[in-house]
Structure 1
Amino acid sequence: MADALSRSLLPPQGGNSKTRGPPTGKRSTQKTPLLVFLFLALLIGCILLTVITLITSDQDTVPSWRIRPSIILAFISGLYSIILGGLFGVGVAVTWWRSIQHGTTLKRLHYIQAAASPKDFWGGFAAGSSARKVASAAFIVFVVKLAVGPISQRATRTRTQSVARNIDMNIHIAKQISDGYYGTWGGFNRVDIVQGMFLNLTMRTEPRKDYDCPSKGTCETRIPAAGLNYGCTSVSETLNLLDDKSVNSTLFSIDMNMSEEFGQPMLFLTMKYLSSVDGSCLGTLTTDSCSIIPATIWYPITIQNSTLTLNHNDLLSERAVVSNYTTEADKHTNNLTAPTGPLQGLYLGLGTILKAEAFLNKSDGMSAYTPSLKPLRSAQWPDLFFDTTINANDSTSPAYVRENCPLRWFSPRDSIIQSFFEFSFRSAYDLGGNADEHYQNFTAIFRSSELWFSTDYGWLAATVVTMVLGNAAAMSLLWGWWDLDRYVSLSSLETGRAFGAPILLSAGPEKESKAIIDEIGNERVAHDGDELVWNGTVYASGRWEGGTVPTVRGRMGGRTSGDTEGSFRNSLRELEGESPNRHSFGNVRGHWRGMSSVSHGGSGSSSASFEHSLGVSTRKWFGGPEGGGTVKHTRQRSGSGSGPGTPMLPLSLTPASGIGAEPSSRGSAVGNESSQLPPIKSSGGLQIPPLNVGVGTRRGSAGEGSGTGSGASSGKRPLSLIVERNSQSPQD
């Protein structure tokens, strides 16, 4: 409603102004479909990203994701909720405008917009089909926004799972034992290898990358290294343990010797042991004979962190030979300084330690055994391999055996062979050292228990269904958007323009908020709780006082008839922008916001109001002469504006009889007619004759009509600045 002069007198905030041409009335016909398709594409993209994230993370390790899937899903669900809200908002606007386009009620229009909020769901359901549709869609969208995050989070979880994968590793280990490694025929110098075997000292990998196993797991593989190849035979014989002739018979023995009878050096291992006894004390004496030669074999090993271990059980049950080899250093010689070969070194290192023997004897009529005390014989091995369960209380042996001949031994063969392999492996690993000639690269199987992501495809389906349901609910409100000739929203500018708000009429044919803003967006407005006021608005606040005629600003109420002429002059000055009871702000006549004291009108109370001059008001007169109220009326717009103004209600300023002419000091051209002010009616609008002030009756001021301006000759005043009381300036 502001004209060109109002814009010049009331600049935009901060002093910026904008030159605008005539309204164009252009409308955005493509914005709605583009916006809808964009929102829909983004929503579908959120669904696809959710599915891709859940499928990709399934059966994948937790460390492989720098950002956990749960965080990604939380971000996607939040983005989805924002975009869904945007699409739903467009749908509500389309439904509102289509409803008003086809005709509806104000109640339904209210609930179409209000039903989008949870607090007005039920009111929307009862307000009609359009509002019910919005309320239903809003309820679904509300539930989807709440549910999509938790449901998608339930679709992914972590669990501990045993894993096995191949990794490349390195090691230095010798494939053959070189001559002289164990010393000479006259002396064995690798006691450290024997100590490591019997004391079970830990073997460590090299402290370098790819030599040890990743943490929290084990690496298993087979590597070729120096070892032994062997073949064994077994024979049995019967021995009567109660026969006196059997006394001093060998019941248990371990013996070794070197021989070249098969054309090459070989180590022979002979083991004899009483393997079983029947109910009549007849024992089975078993003899195992093994021939051993050097060979390169596959060793099953396990590496945990940097600890290297030989798997003996797998070595014996799945023995695999790469190749046999022999060396002249193992052939017998009397030269005690000659280097030994691998077999002679094994014999020197373990032969005297493992040799043992035990004999049958009688003690109080019961068969027993006695370890051999001969030199180079160990007395511990017969005890170590003796089966103590034969005479235990829970033994399954016959009572006669437990009482007369409780003798039985475990076979030492596997244990001794394992010790030979342990000795050879430790020797090969020690010999490998850091020498490049013994470097080997191998592939190990890494086994571990790791945290893995697992996707629940049932919850994944529920997530997709929930998101699709939200899309469908928001899209249901967009049906018929093609019937609208422009992009619509529920902006107060657009809806106010549709309802014919006076302040928005000067926007011309513009109907979209952006176009309205471009046209009159710099218009300043204020609201005091009862009316909207803007540049050029006029009204007066006051109270009726026992039938006394109220003034335009409520300053004449309660005055005596003797003061009629002075009150009239004060009212005239106020209409011209002066305030006889206020300090003047120069020549600026404007808009005051504060407490309009009704003491001028004879009342002791006060009320907040705007005071300003000449223009248009949204307020209408209400109240009455009996109950009091606020006098509201519109005044004519300044002639300086380009748009049509609202005509002022007629207000006769001709003094009543007895008042006399306007004093000459005012320079007024008002005649001395004998007519009186019209009486105040009990109801209806206040009729005020038009103000007709002659040339020279007003004081000149910047931007106002003077005695020479056309505005002055027509009695019109330019619009003044709206000034808020106690504020710094109109521009602040």
Structure 2
Amino acid sequence: MNPSRVDPPADSEESTMSSSLVDQPVDSEDNNNNKSQTAPLLVEVTDDGSLQAQSQEKNETTSSSRQGQGSEWSPGALRQFPYSGILSLLGCISCIAATIAILKASDGQPTDDWSLSPTVYLALLTTALNRLAQVAFSEGVKIVWWRAAIRGTTVSHLHRYWASGDSTVSALRLGRGFNIVSLAKLAVTLIAIDQPLIQRASSVVAQHPENPVSVSAPIAPEIPYGYTASQFGRALNVADASMTVPMLAAFGAYNSKAAIIHNFTGCAGTCTGAVHAGGFTANCSTNSIAVDVLSLIPPVSGLQQSHTSMSPFNVSWNVDFNSTRRTADISFLAYFINKMSPETCTSTIMVQKQCRLQLATLEYPVQLQGETLTFTEAIDNLTVISLQPSAADVNLTVEEDGGLLYTGWTTVGFALAATSIFTSKATYNWIQGAIQLSLPDVLSNQFMNIESAVGPGCANWTDPTSYMLSAINEMAFRISLSASNAKFGNTSEPPQPQVLTMKQMRDINVFKSDFRYLIASTVLSFFFVLLITPTFYGWWLLGRNVSLNPIETAKAFDAELLQGPGSNAPQDELIRIVGMRKLKLGEIQLDYQGTAETKLKLVDPADAVGPRTGTLYA
């Protein structure tokens, strides 16, 4: 047997074992009739240089037996549908839609209504959008690379697709080789600019919105009978009465100018409206008379003996103990000089004003802020809702309001308070030819018109009625607040809380959406997502799940160390079969026609040594 000469392969990166096909000689007489008996031999050059031959017939049989063990090539739109990539694209669209929804929903909403601010949700959504775009892009690159390989292309084109997907810099440096993957890579990179845009789309601003609210107001609509004073003597006079504890508290709070504290509910900011409470309405009569103050000065001859006085300002209070009505009325008389001529100190007008105060349910204009209540208008002349009936009118006994020994009074407590702080008497005294003005109390000082007092006996006073009525009604309002749990009218039950419709104004922080930034971010994000979409074109041409795993691409290039699994084996199967094979990038020696060649290859670690510095590898 004469073996044929075996040449080494042209590419030195092929296996160290080469094969050539030789004909095995047969007897000459059978040469013509039994040509089918001639069996070619496959001669291999082994590592030691010897030749090893085997029958090609046997090899073909073995190859034929493996054809049923490979992986089927199964293209199709549904079979090869890129679920992760398409779902990532849909996720990008969903993130954009959710961003729009959050900015629209939060616009104008109080910050207290959101446990997390919209900017937190926007940050999460934009991060998710960018990550999903990356996932979609990586899936698209695989499809482009393998579709180009199926269609037929060059190594250079495949490298460009891979380089574009691997690095933005590489995508920009391709120049004329710029391709669909390069464009998608730039889109994935630039989509990150949506974050600063969308973050500026939501901010916090202060607002003062007004809206109607229902407020529950526990307050008595009238003064409870017998609530403000107690009778300690048999005589019906103020001297035998004393303020009750609630009246003393209201009187003390008024004098100290303490804030009015309420326990209304339903107001979350500053609320304005009206509430019904007990108070007084005044029925007044006014009379004016002319008085010449200077004419009262005695003659000169009597200067040494004279001592004349008059009152230019006087306020006194009285209680009308009406045995029929039993609920006493209170009244006051005020007179004051009001129109003294500052030039001549003559033509003086003395105003006399008498007012009778009657209990009533009044409408108080109030403002609530926190737990503090204030009045928004003067409360001296309020709207009367109804007059409060007397004790006799509601069939109450004399013990409940009538002034028997150790019983209560409804109005006398206010009379005691008013007498204490509003009784006033200013006097002019002529002593030894001189005019002396005496102002012994607060009220006469408070209502004196200082600017008009240009000379002795020439002062004017203003009307104190509004001031006194406001004070009495403020104390009545405080009493009504404290009496919210006291028995109401002639019943044994407290009054029901009033339900008020008030105008609420809150100083609140709200989210403000700037839709200019939203539109810019939405347009750019949607545009960049659209640039990724074309990379999925042609997925139906693929016959298996593909990746750019170097093991899978090396298998497609028929790498020697990956021999064994079918040529269409997917990545998972390929790794399962060859994953435990050892390899090493090292130096190997090839003997080609007596010439040694040194190369670097991924080979079995036993067949190679590590690369050496300075060595030239063929």
TM-score, normalized by the shorter chain, greater than 0.5:
yes
Deviations 1:657-697 (A, max 9, x none): xxxxxxxxxxxxxxxxxxxxxxxxxxxxxxxxxxxxxxxxx
Higher relative contact order (CA 8 A, sep 6+): 2
1:437 paired with 2:503, answer: no
| Counterpart among 152, 167, 170 of residue 120 in structure 1 | 170
CA–CA separation in structure 1 for the residues paired with 2:567 and 2:585: 29
Cα displacement (A) at 1:27: 3.2
| Counterpart among 317, 324, 348 of residue 388 in structure 2 | 324
**1:397 counterpart residue number:** none
Deviations 1:85-130 (A, max 9, x none): 1112222233333444455443333232222322223213x14242
Instruction: Report SS of the residue matched to 1:59.
Output: coil
* Change beyond 3 A, Cα 1:111–1:243: farther
**2:571 counterpart residue number:** 513
Cα displacement (A) at 1:439: 4.8
Paired amino acid for 2:479: S
Cα displacement (A) at 1:46: 0.6
**2:532 counterpart residue number:** 474
* Change beyond 3 A, Cα 1:405–1:249: closer
CA–CA separation in structure 1 for the residues paired with 2:532 and 2:596: 56
* Change beyond 3 A, Cα 1:43–1:323: farther
**2:23 counterpart residue number:** none
| Counterpart among 201, 207, 214 of residue 155 in structure 1 | 201
Deviations 1:165-189 (A, max 9, x none): 6365453546332136411242223
Deviations 1:616-638 (A, max 9, x none): xxxxxxxxxxx98779xxxxxxx
Asked if the contact 2:362/2:382 (under 8 Å) is kept, the reply is: no
Q: How many residues align?
A: 512
1:188 paired with 2:242, answer: yes
Paired amino acid for 1:155: A
CA–CA separation in structure 2 for the residues paired with 1:548 and 1:509: 34
Paired amino acid for 2:446: L
**1:271 counterpart residue number:** 334
**1:77 counterpart residue number:** 126
Cα displacement (A) at 1:410: 3.4
**2:144 counterpart residue number:** 95
* Change beyond 3 A, Cα 1:305–1:503: same
* Change beyond 3 A, Cα 1:349–1:27: same
Asked if the contact 1:487/1:512 (under 8 Å) is kept, the reply is: yes
| Counterpart among 457, 477, 481 of residue 425 in structure 1 | 477
Between 1:239-248 and 1:347-356, the stretch displaced more is 239-248
Cα displacement (A) at 1:194: 2.5
* Change beyond 3 A, Cα 1:341–1:122: same
Cα displacement (A) at 1:202: 5.1
**1:454 counterpart residue number:** 512
CA–CA separation in structure 2 for the residues paired with 1:48 and 1:364: 97
Paired amino acid for 2:499: F
Asked if the contact 1:157/1:455 (under 8 Å) is kept, the reply is: yes
* Change beyond 3 A, Cα 1:227–1:363: same
Please give the TM-score of this superposition, normalised by the length of structure 2. Answer: 0.69
Paired amino acid for 1:139: L
Asked if the contact 1:223/1:298 (under 8 Å) is kept, the reply is: yes
Cα displacement (A) at 1:304: 4.7
1:384 paired with 2:441, answer: no
Q: Which runs of 5+ in 1 are unaligned?
A: 3-19, 372-377, 392-400, 531-538, 554-589, 597-606, 610-626, 632-732
**2:257 counterpart residue number:** 200
Asked if the contact 2:310/2:428 (under 8 Å) is kept, the reply is: yes
CA–CA separation in structure 1 for the residues paired with 2:402 and 2:195: 87
Cα displacement (A) at 1:271: 3.0
CA–CA separation in structure 2 for the residues paired with 1:258 and 1:44: 82
Cα displacement (A) at 1:468: 0.9
CA–CA separation in structure 1 for the residues paired with 2:598 and 2:541: 49
Cα displacement (A) at 1:39: 2.1
Cα displacement (A) at 1:320: 4.4
Paired amino acid for 1:224: H
* Change beyond 3 A, Cα 1:593–1:258: same
Cα displacement (A) at 1:471: 1.1
Instruction: Report SS of the residue matched to 1:115.
Output: helix
Instruction: Report SS of the residue matched to 1:32.
Output: coil
5 Å-filtered alignment, 1:435-584, equals 437-440=494-497, 442-443=499-500, 447-482=505-540, 484=542, 487-504=545-562, 506-510=564-568, 512-514=570-572, 516-517=574-575, 520-529=577-586, 540=589
CA–CA separation in structure 2 for the residues paired with 1:334 and 1:320: 25
**1:671 counterpart residue number:** none
Asked if the contact 1:60/1:452 (under 8 Å) is kept, the reply is: yes
CA–CA separation in structure 2 for the residues paired with 1:455 and 1:182: 61
Tell me which protein shows more strand as a share of its residues: 2
Instruction: Report SS of the residue matched to 2:411.
Output: helix
1:137 paired with 2:190, answer: no
* Change beyond 3 A, Cα 1:508–1:380: closer
Cα displacement (A) at 1:221: 5.1
Asked if the contact 2:95/2:129 (under 8 Å) is kept, the reply is: yes
Paired amino acid for 1:142: T
Cα displacement (A) at 1:486: 5.2
Q: Which runs of 5+ in 2 are unaligned?
A: 1-13, 16-66, 299-307, 488-492
Asked if the contact 1:229/1:292 (under 8 Å) is kept, the reply is: yes
| Counterpart among 302, 318, 322 of residue 257 in structure 1 | 318
What value does the CA root-mean-square deviation take over the aligned residues?
4.4
* Change beyond 3 A, Cα 1:86–1:352: closer
Deviations 1:331-361 (A, max 9, x none): 9x99762745423332233235312122456
Paired amino acid for 2:336: Y
| Counterpart among 97, 110, 114 of residue 65 in structure 1 | 114
Paired amino acid for 2:332: L
Asked if the contact 2:274/2:364 (under 8 Å) is kept, the reply is: yes
Asked if the contact 2:220/2:277 (under 8 Å) is kept, the reply is: yes
* Change beyond 3 A, Cα 1:286–1:28: farther
CA–CA separation in structure 2 for the residues paired with 1:430 and 1:345: 15
Cα displacement (A) at 1:415: 1.4
CA–CA separation in structure 2 for the residues paired with 1:311 and 1:173: 17
Asked if the contact 1:107/1:127 (under 8 Å) is kept, the reply is: no
Cα displacement (A) at 1:416: 0.4
CA–CA separation in structure 2 for the residues paired with 1:550 and 1:102: 39
CA–CA separation in structure 2 for the residues paired with 1:364 and 1:127: 121
* Change beyond 3 A, Cα 1:273–1:498: farther
5 Å-filtered alignment, 1:14-33, equals 22-27=69-74, 29=76, 30=78, 31-32=80-81
Asked if the contact 1:366/1:405 (under 8 Å) is kept, the reply is: no
Instruction: Report SS of the residue matched to 2:185.
Output: helix
1:46 paired with 2:95, answer: yes
Deviations 1:45-103 (A, max 9, x none): 11111111111112222222222222111111111111111112222233333444455
CA–CA separation in structure 1 for the residues paired with 2:615 and 2:138: 45
Deviations 1:434-490 (A, max 9, x none): 776245253466544232222112222222122212211211433454555555432
CA–CA separation in structure 1 for the residues paired with 2:435 and 2:521: 80
Asked if the contact 1:275/1:286 (under 8 Å) is kept, the reply is: yes
1:355 paired with 2:407, answer: no
Asked if the contact 1:510/1:516 (under 8 Å) is kept, the reply is: no
CA–CA separation in structure 1 for the residues paired with 2:281 and 2:472: 10
Asked if the contact 2:205/2:512 (under 8 Å) is kept, the reply is: yes
* Change beyond 3 A, Cα 1:457–1:240: farther
Asked if the contact 1:540/1:630 (under 8 Å) is kept, the reply is: no
* Change beyond 3 A, Cα 1:276–1:300: same
Give identity over the alignment, percent: 18
